[in-house]
Amino acid sequence: MVKLPSRDEVRQAIVDLLEGRRSREEVDDWAAQWRTLDNLPEIDDRLVWDTLGRLSGCATLDPFDPQNDYYLHIEVDFRAWLEEFDAAVARGE
């Protein structure tokens, strides 16, 4: 049986991005597997599902940068994602 990601694991992925323990590409790949692979159980926790969606784009390059030197999402976005995640948990979502 496949172990679905927990809220703690999803939150830790954001923290790891902010603290440089995991690369954008590593977190992106980890999150994307839950959103795109077939034959995986459905994730019923809406907060986990939505946050995985954000994380699965954290390594996306800015489409308006012709030299591909800049990411679409930056540290301030990751901090906002963490704050929104924590706020949703505090509200009991």
Could you read off the pLDDT of 17-38 as tens digits, one per residue?
999 999 999 999 999 988 876 6
Instruction: Give the per-residue pLDDT at 64.
Output: 87
Instruction: Give the per-residue pLDDT at 1.
Output: 65
Domain count, the chain: 1
Residue 1 lies in a domain: no
Residue 2 lies in a domain: no
Residue 37 lies in a domain: yes
Residue 66 lies in a domain: yes
* Higher pLDDT among residues 44 and 15, named by residue: 15
Residue 23 lies in a domain: yes
> Would the pLDDT of 39 be above 80?
no
Q: Cβ of 59: how many Cβ atoms within 10 Å? A: 19
Domain extent at residue 77: 7-90
Q: What mean pLDDT is reported for the chain?
A: 91
Burial class (CB in 10 A: 0-12, 13-18, 19+), 45: middle
